[in-house]
Amino acid sequence: MFEIRRYSDLDKKQWDQYVSKARNATFLFYRDYMDYHRDRFADYSLMFYKGPRLYALLPAHIKDNILYSHFGLTYGGLIMDYNVTITETCQLFDELNRYLKAAGIREVYYKPIPWIYHLHPSEEDLYAIFWKCHAQLYSRNIGTTIFMQRHQRWRKDHRRLLRKALDNGVTVVKDGSLEAFWKILDDNLAERFHAKPVHTLSEIELLKSRFPDRIIQYNAYKDHEIIGGLTVYLTQQVVHGQYSSTNHVGKEYGAMEAIYNQLMYHDYPDYPYLDFGSSTEENGSVINEGLIAHKEGFGGRGVCYDTYHWLL
Q: For 194-224, how does the pLDDT look when each residue is reduced to its tens digit (9 = 90+)?
A: 788 889 999 999 999 999 999 999 999 999 9
Task: Return mean pLDDT, the chain.
Answer: 95
User: Do 255 and 212 belong together in one domain?
Assistant: yes
Q: Residue 193 pLDDT more than 90?
A: no
pTM: 0.94
User: Do 160 and 299 belong together in one domain?
Assistant: yes
The Cβ of residue 244 has, within 10 Å, a number of other Cβ atoms equal to 23
User: Do 278 and 152 belong together in one domain?
Assistant: yes
User: Do 50 and 166 belong together in one domain?
Assistant: no
CA-based nearest residue to 146, from 294, 306, 43, 34: 294
pLDDT digits (tens, 9 = 90+) for 245-300: 999 999 999 999 999 999 999 999 999 999 999 988 888 889 989 889 999 999 99
pLDDT digits (tens, 9 = 90+) for 101-120: 999 999 999 999 999 999 99
Q: Which of 78-92, 183-197, 203-217 has the lowest mean pLDDT?
A: 183-197
Mean pLDDT value of segment 78-105 = 98
* Dihedral class, residue 204 (left if φ above 0, else alpha if ψ from -120 to 50, else beta): alpha
Mean pLDDT value of segment 54-73 = 94
DSSP β-ladder status, 46-50 and 107-110: unpaired
CA distances from 11 to 7, 28, 74, 163, 168 (A): 6, 17, 23, 52, 53
Structure confidence at residue 178 (pLDDT): 97
Structure confidence at residue 196 (pLDDT): 85
User: Do 218 and 158 belong together in one domain?
Assistant: yes
Number of domains in the chain: 2
Mean pLDDT value of segment 184-198 = 84
Domain hosting residue 273, numbered range: 145-305
CA-based nearest residue to 139, from 271, 256, 270, 280: 280
Structure confidence at residue 188 (pLDDT): 85
pLDDT above 70 covers a percentage of the chain that reads 100
Structure confidence at residue 40 (pLDDT): 86
Q: CATH no. for residue 56?
A: 3.40.630.30
Mean pLDDT value of segment 231-237 = 97
Q: For the purposes of burial, counting CB atoms within 10 Å of the CB of 212, is it exposed (0-12), middle (13-18) or buried (19 or more)?
A: exposed
User: Do 19 and 109 belong together in one domain?
Assistant: yes
